[in-house]
């Protein structure tokens, strides 16, 4: 964190939280206590009235105007910031904490008083499979590669092929299916690929530049994907009955799906997806409530996997 940004962060911390001492501020900023003492001197030299009395305090709050939030708006914003999966990513978590401290620092006294007795009634829990101690430099370097059009060199642990070293032109990063991924052109495979951030074992930015592709964006790239897999579009048609039929009628599972009721607890389900791998896994979970009409390759793959399950569970 640059000194100017850190000084603003300290100002917001001191205004929004009570009884902060130098070790606590140093921990929040990721610097030494000695640095914080120098920062406090810099703040005082800027004619901002700060003093210590069982924690750092301001003699006056007049230099920071309050935000025109009511308490419900504040609690909603807080829920949004804490619900984002970016809160799990190391470098993004620091940014979000900084945003929250700036917002808290500029709340009106009325909202400060109300929020102490009122809690948010809505909570959003987005599941993430990323490890809590994930290396934040991976996120930061991928973002820098996307932003500056720089080729990345990855040591990547693929489920199919194991650990390989690849050069990738990164185009965008996205949180989907419980994890962060980025999409880019793989020079090793000579095609567009999707890479899961937590399967990166090492990464570095090269000095090689690439021309950004404006025709690649998340909406277009994942348009037919059931989850994160890409591939050639495949038209799928299945007859679902029983619980499977009731489940697909209870909510959408794919933006392009078509559900036609053909009887009591019986539907014709049609959808175009990228490849059959992910929808195959989904359909197997319904067991005998699934009758595949097309494509033939999907029907064969479900039979093969079902036979393997029966064989291993004899």
pLDDT 10s digits, 20-61: 888 888 888 888 888 888 888 888 777 777 777 778 877 665
pLDDT 10s digits, 133-180: 556 678 888 989 999 999 999 999 988 889 999 999 999 988 887 788
Q: What residue ranges of the chain are covered by domains with CATH 1.10.10?
A: 3-115
Average pLDDT in the chain: 84
* pLDDT, position 140: 83
194 vs 80: which has the higher pLDDT: 194
Q: CATH for 3-115?
A: 1.10.10
pLDDT 10s digits, 213-257: 888 888 888 888 888 887 789 999 999 999 999 999 999 999 899
* pLDDT, position 55: 83
Cα radius of gyration (the chain): 26
Tokens of 67: 């935000």
* pLDDT, position 64: 54
* pLDDT, position 67: 63
Q: What residue ranges of the chain are covered by domains with CATH 2.30.30?
A: 136-221
* pLDDT, position 65: 58
- Judge whether residue 299 has pLDDT over 90: yes
Strand-pairing partners, residue 204, are 153
Burial class (CB in 10 A: 0-12, 13-18, 19+), 142: buried
**Residues above pLDDT 90, as percent of the chain:** 37
Three-state SS for 89-150 is CHHHHHHHHHHHHHHHHCCCHHHHHHHCCCCCCCCCCCCCCCCCCCCHHHHHHHHHHHHHCE
Residues whose CB falls within 8 Å of the CB of residue 92, separated by 6 or more in sequence, listed in order = 86, 139
* pLDDT, position 304: 94
* pLDDT, position 120: 66
- Judge whether residue 63 has pLDDT over 60: no
Cross-sheet strand order for the sheet of 162-176 = 191-196, 179-186, 162-176, 150-158, 200-209
**Residues above pLDDT 70, as percent of the chain:** 90
- Please give the CATH topology (third level) of the domain spanning 136-221: SH3 type barrels. (2.30.30)
């Amino acid at each position: 964190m640059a000194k100017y940004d850190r000084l603003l962060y300290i100002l917001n911390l001191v205004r929004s939280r009570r009884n902060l001492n130098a070790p606590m501020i140093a921990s929040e900023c990721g610097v030494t206590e000695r640095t914080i003492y120098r920062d406090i001197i810099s703040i005082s030299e800027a004619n901002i009235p700060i003093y210590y009395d069982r924690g750092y305090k301001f003699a006056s709050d007049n230099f920071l105007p309050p935000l025109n939030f009511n308490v419900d708006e504040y609690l909603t914003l807080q829920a949004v910031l804490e619900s984002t999966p970016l809160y799990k990513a190391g470098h993004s978590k620091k940014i979000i904490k900084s945003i929250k401290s700036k917002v808290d620092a500029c709340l009106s006294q009325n909202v400060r008083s109300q929020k102490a007795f009122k809690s948010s009634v809505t909570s959003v829990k987005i599941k993430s499979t990323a490890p809590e101690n994930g290396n934040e430099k991976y996120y930061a370097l991928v973002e820098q590669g996307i932003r500056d059009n720089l080729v990345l060199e990855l040591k990547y642990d693929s489920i199919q092929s194991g650990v390989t070293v690849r050069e990738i032109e990164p185009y965008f990063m996205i949180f989907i299916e419980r994890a962060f991924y980025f999409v880019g052109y793989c020079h090793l495979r000579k095609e567009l690929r999707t890479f899961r951030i937590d399967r990166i074992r090492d990464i570095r930015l090269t000095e090689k530049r690439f021309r950004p592709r404006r025709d690649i964006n998340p909406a277009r790239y994942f348009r037919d994907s059931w989850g994160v897999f890409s591939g050639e579009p495949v038209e799928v048609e299945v007859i679902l009955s029983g619980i499977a039929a009731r489940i697909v009628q209870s909510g959408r599972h794919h933006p392009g799906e078509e559900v036609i009721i053909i009887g009591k607890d019986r539907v014709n389900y049609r959808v175009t997806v990228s490849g059959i791998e992910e929808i195959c896994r989904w359909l197997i979970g319904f067991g005998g409530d699934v009758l595949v009409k097309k494509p033939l390759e999907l029907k064969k793959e479900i039979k093969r996997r079902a036979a393997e399950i029966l064989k291993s569970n004899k």
